[in-house]
Amino acid sequence: MEDSYRRSTQEVLDTFEVNLRQGLSRTQVEASQARYGRNALPEEESTPLWELILEQFKDQMVIILMISALVSLVLAFLEEDGDQLTAYVEPVVIMLILVANATVGVIQESNAEKAIEALKEYSPDEAKVVRGGELQRINAEELVPGDIVDLAVGDKIPADCRLVEIYSSSLRVDQAILTGESASVHKDTAAVSDPHAVKQDQINMLFSGTTLVQGKGRAVVVQTGSDTAIGDIHKSIS
């Protein structure tokens, strides 16, 4: 439900056919788990070093340079007149450029893999959820769209949620990992009318991986796993 920030709290609850006090039923949870899967980012297998190196030499321009270096090397070897050492300068320079390019490429790929793994550290292990009228702690990966979650100071947001109730004078979230904002952001339950509102302006949304730093509230899960804002970051660096 990508436009939940534009809807009233009741509209969002009605969309998921959920009661704020009762939460989802077991039947609803099972149906949603079958439809949406687990609330987790996809597992990425680590790429072997040799494969990372090989990938750097598959580019068409790199292949052309490799052929040029090989031809220059053969011509230098066959050179009979003049300074043979000078003849080897060109192929050696080309090879050094290729090695440097491959090294940079491998480092960038390795950093991307580390960044992907780092994203998972922002996902909490547990979530406080209302199901069948009872507040319970569950594995955060078991959350589904429509789940009602309770949040307090220090909690990491377990999925993208639409804020529906605030139980304190104010509620603020640190969402620097997502938007780069240095200061915590004030949140509210009111709908946002702008259809093109960016993440920073969606003041009624709590995004997966961000941290509640002030206040206490209740929210309804609207996006899980790869469909969350942090899931979009995961896709962009995969």
Question: Measured between alpha carbons, how far is 112 from 178 in angstroms, rounded to an integer?
Answer: 17
Cα(7)–Cα(192) distance, integer angstroms? 7
Best CA proximity match to 120, nearest among 37, 181, 208: 208
Q: CA dist 191 to 53, 59, 204, Å?
A: 50, 48, 7
Q: Residue 176 — φ and ψ, nearest 5°?
A: -60, -35
Residue listed under structure tokens 């609330």: 39
Whole-number pLDDT of residue 117: 67
Supply the pLDDT for residue 121.
Answer: 67
Residues 107 and 139 in one domain: no
Q: 17 or 115, which is more confident? A: 17
Percent of the chain surpassing pLDDT 70: 91
Task: Give yes or no for a contact between 5 and 199, defined as CB atoms under 8 angstroms apart.
Answer: no
Q: Give the end of a domain, one of 120, 139, 174.
A: 120
Among 28-37, 64-73, 132-141, 192-201, which is the least confidently predicted range? Answer: 64-73
49-68 pLDDT per residue, tens: 778 788 888 888 888 888 88
Same domain flag for 135 and 218: yes
The boundaries of the domain holding residue 162 are 4-40+124-237
Q: Is 195 exposed, middle or buried (0-12, 13-18, 19+ CB in 10 A)?
A: exposed
pLDDT of residue 106: 81
Residues 91 and 147 in one domain: no
Residue 172 has pLDDT above 90, yes or no: yes
- Indicate the residue among 61, 85, 120 that finishes a domain: 120
CATH (domain of 146): 2.70.150.10
Query: Residue 103: its pLDDT value, please?
Result: 87
8 A C-beta contact, residue 223 and residue 2: yes
Residues 186, 222 within the same domain: yes
183 and 95 belong to one structural domain: no
Contacts of 29 (CB under 8 A, 6+ apart): 131, 144, 147
Identify whether residues 223 and 161 lie together within a single domain: yes
pLDDT at 41 over 90: no
Strand residues in the chain grouped as ranges (E): 126-131, 134-139, 148-151, 160-166, 172-174, 185-186, 205-206, 211-214, 217-223
**Average pLDDT for the chain:** 88
Measured distance CA(164)–CA(139) in Å, rounded: 22
* Domain match, 84 and 135 both: no
Out of 62, 95, 120, pick the residue that ends a domain: 120
Pair 133, 193 in one domain: yes
- Per residue in 66-122, pLDDT (tens digit) is 888 888 888 877 776 656 677 778 888 888 888 888 888 888 877 767 766 666 666
The domain total for the chain is 2
Co-location of 136 and 35 in the same domain: yes
DSSP type of residue 6: G
Same-domain pairing of 130 and 231? yes
